[in-house]
Amino acid sequence: MAELLIHIIVPIAIFGFIALFTLFAVYAERKIAGFVQDRLGPMETGKYGLLQTIADILKLLQKEFITPAAADRILFALAPIVIFAAVFVGFAVMPWGPDLLPANTNTGLFFIMAVVSIDAIGILMAGWGSNNKYSLLGSIRAIAQMVSYEIPVGLSLIAAVMITQTLNLNEIAFQQGVLAQEDIFFFGFWNVTEIGGILAWNIFQAPHLIVVYVIFFIATLAECNRAPFDIPEAESELIGGFHTEYGGIRFAFVFLAEYAMMFLVTMLGAVIFLGGWNTPLPNMGALKLADWTTGPFWGIFWTLSKSLFIVGVQMWIRWTLPRFRADQLMDLCWKIMIPVAFICMAISGLWRILVMV
Amino acid sequence: MEELLFYTFAALAIVSALLVVSLKNTARALFLFFITLFALAGLFLFALADFVAITQILVYVGGVLILMIFAFMLSNKELLKDLQAISGKFVDMPNTQSILLVIGFLAVMIYGIVEWHQQTPDWITHNIKTKQIIQSTDNNIHQLGIKFMTQYILPFEVISIFLLMALIGASQLSRKEDDR
């Protein structure tokens, strides 16, 4: 019975966290946009405009359900649920701290890649169900982009997994800090198992993993349909993309899914490349900073701060770079990122055989 | 609890599969196919085949199903009308053919009942005795990788060559004429 209660409380807690995160991420996004564009952003509601997004969500919650007359009612109503559920399920295997994760499975990473691909079906459902040209075009663009960019994401993850030798996200996180069972080598020559900290992170275990992380970051940006890859939602061409017809709480769910996806991929990147819940502070002689800052609460703190920092970078990029054209987008994916990812994969294999013996 | 989940998944798979073939609305049928595949993945989990279950979702839902929906959306409207104008009969065939089909199915079912033994087969009881069974805590992926690289290396290589052929064929088909 107690176990069943945990199975109910943990998802609710994660859902609550995602909702809270979305609220303040939208606020942060608007503030960052204001800063980049040299204006103030929300400032009227509450102190510094802090209550602006809460007011927004209250407005969305009390709006009427509007279904277009020509829409496919069932698909239209189900699509936001499928889109959100696909992303939400991904959080089931994410580690927040040492042995602190909802489901410790051997297939964690593979599981996330599979459930994220369900997201595409939800977007197609929304586009088709709305029975609107702009929605359909937006969803087709979104799928073409997501399916293409799944390949560099997959390849970069494979390149990292060839070094870690496990798909279990908990073990991957354990391998990158002072709690590791095996020896960790900084760039393959300096044993840093006792030192830990930033030196033990996966991106520093092999030099090419830095390139792999850059590929992963760009490709996941496209997976989330974020600028500069936001042609599925291009306001100037498509009104709003696949969610044009949605309003009220259904729109809120589509929005929630987008921000949850952002957090999911940044957290995944943090766990696989940036040490997960491990501290960036190394042990230096008598100053055992890494040992002092490792533990369940520190774990949650580091996971959150790393993920939120990268979410911040995503927002910064969104308001700095102009949007790609559709053919440039595909060129970047198929002609640059996939070949480079393949080369990195080959280097990973050689690195594992020749250096990490 | 687990039995309940198993029967829910099984019922979901059967009912949605039946609906997929009987629905008039092709778009809805395709989206319903997703539920069939998902329920099948759930059933694979009960066989302790977690890797197969996830591959099922990744390949069929993330790849094949999306391609099917794309093909449906981009195909000719007249062609789709032909597809949707199927008569409502359960078996839409001439009588002689349907009789053959029915007899065939009946033969398969009778053969199954005749050949079915009540007790578990010998090889299963033997394996249980010698403890050669998978536990739910085992690392299946590790075993799978070793098997792929040793016992099943030839099928594995053949599949990769086959996929490479498909890739080259696809890029050849989508090439512009003047690029030659």
Domains of chain A by residue range: 1-62, 68-354
What does the alpha-carbon distance between residue A344 and residue A158 come to, in Å, rounded to a whole number? 10
Q: What is the mean pLDDT of residues A250-275?
A: 88
Q: In the prediction, which pLDDT does B83 show?
A: 62
Q: In the prediction, which pLDDT does B179 show?
A: 55
State how far the alpha carbon of A288 is from the alpha carbons of A3, A116, A193, A207, A291, in Å. Answer: 37, 39, 13, 26, 5
Q: Which of A74, A111, A121 sits opposite B61 (nearest CB)?
A: A121
pLDDT band at B85 (very low <50, low <70, confident <90, very high): low
B66 at the A interface (CB within 8 A)? yes
Q: What is the pLDDT of residues A287-299, one digit of tens each?
A: 777 777 777 888 8
Among A12-26, A35-49, A203-217, where is mean pLDDT lowest?
A35-49
Q: What distance in Å separates residue B114's CA from the closest CA in chain A?
A: 41
Residue type, A180: A
Q: What is the pLDDT of residues A166-180, one digit of tens each?
A: 888 888 888 887 777
State how far the alpha carbon of A350 is from the alpha carbons of A163, A187, B150, in Å. Answer: 10, 14, 20
What does the alpha-carbon distance between residue A217 and residue A240 come to, in Å, rounded to a whole number? 25
Question: Do A167 and B73 make contact, defined as CB atoms within 8 angstroms?
Answer: no
Higher pLDDT, A180 or A87: A87
B48 at the A interface (CB within 8 A)? no
pTM of the model: 0.86
Checking if the pLDDT of A78 tops 60, the result is yes
Within 8 A of B25 by CB-CB distance, chain A residues are: 72
Q: Which of B25, B62, B140 sits opposite A114 (nearest CB)?
A: B62
Question: Do A140 and B70 make contact, defined as CB atoms within 8 angstroms?
Answer: yes
Checking if the pLDDT of B107 tops 90, the result is yes
Question: Do A114 and B61 make contact, defined as CB atoms within 8 angstroms?
Answer: yes
pLDDT band at B155 (very low <50, low <70, confident <90, very high): very high
Within 8 A of A124 by CB-CB distance, chain B residues are: 66, 69
Q: In the prediction, which pLDDT does A234 show?
A: 66
What does the alpha-carbon distance between residue A10 and residue B85 come to, in Å, rounded to a whole number? 49
Q: In the prediction, which pLDDT does B140 show?
A: 79
Q: What distance in Å separates residue A352's CA from the closest CA in chain B?
A: 16
Residue A120 and residue A147 in contact, taking contact as beta carbons nearer than 8 Å = yes
Higher pLDDT, B82 or A230: A230
Checking if the pLDDT of B180 tops 60, the result is no
Residue A201 makes CB contacts below 8 A (sequence gap 6+) with A176, A273, A274, A275, A278, A280
Checking if the pLDDT of B57 tops 80, the result is yes
Mean pLDDT over each residue of chain A, to the nearest integer: 84
Residue A221 makes CB contacts below 8 A (sequence gap 6+) with A228, A229, A314, A317
Checking if the pLDDT of B21 tops 70, the result is yes
Q: In the prediction, which pLDDT does A124 show?
A: 86
| B70-77, long-range: CB < 8 A, 24+ apart | B70/A140, B70/A143, B72/B26, B72/B27, B72/B30, B73/A128, B73/A136, B73/A140
Query: Using CA atoms in the order A157, B59, B157, B152, what is the torsion angle rounded to 10 degrees?
Result: 100
Can you count the helices (H) and strands (E) in chain B?
9, 0
Mutation target for B interface from A109, A116, A117: give the one with most B CBs within 10 A.
Answer: A117
Element of type H or E holding A32:
helix A2-36
Mutation target for A interface from B2, B30, B31: give the one with most A CBs within 10 A.
Answer: B31
* Angle formed at CA A57 by CA A54 and CA A59, multiple of 5 degrees: 110
ipTM over 0.95: no
| Closest chain A residue to B49, measured at CA | A107
State how far the alpha carbon of A226 is from the alpha carbons of A44, A233, B131, in Å. Answer: 27, 9, 52
Q: What is the pLDDT of residues A1-16, one digit of tens each?
A: 777 888 888 889 888 8
Q: What is the mean pLDDT of residues A98-124?
A: 85
Checking if the pLDDT of B164 tops 90, the result is yes
Q: What is the pLDDT of residues A143-158, one digit of tens each?
A: 888 888 888 998 999 9
Checking if the pLDDT of B56 tops 70, the result is yes
Q: What is the pLDDT of residues B33-45, one digit of tens each?
A: 888 988 998 898 8
Q: Which of B58, B65, B73 sits opposite A114 (nearest CB)?
A: B58
Checking if the pLDDT of B161 tops 90, the result is yes
What does the alpha-carbon distance between residue A59 and residue A43 come to, in Å, rounded to a whole number? 18
pLDDT band at B91 (very low <50, low <70, confident <90, very high): low
